[in-house]
Amino acid sequence: MSDSVMIEVPREVLHATRMTAAELRTELAITLFQRGKLSFGKAREMTGLHFWAFQQLLGSRDIPIHYDHDEYEADLEILNRLSKQ
């Protein structure tokens, strides 16, 4: 079971932005990801989008995926293990 925190957003803000609550949540997730405050997985989870849909959304906004050397090494190790099976 996951815990959640409710954030109050005045209805006028939603009207002013012409966004739904889900769209506002997506914008928050994207911004937090872009600023390095959320991982790809957590930001994707927050949006409720599937992996590829979230990646496409980021790509459509020219937002690069954070992928550092340690993640590359971990992926390479997994690929090597899988290829030996």
Residue 48 or 74, more confident: 48
19 Cβ contact list (under 8 Å, min separation 6): 27
CA 23 from chain center: how many Å? 13
Could you give the count of Cα atoms lying within 13 Å of 85 in the half-sphere of its Cβ?
Answer: 6
Write out pLDDT tens, residues 28-71. 999 999 998 998 999 999 999 999 999 999 999 999 887 677 77
Annotated domain spans of the chain: 11-83
Q: What pLDDT is attached to residue 1?
A: 47
How much is the pTM? Answer: 0.72
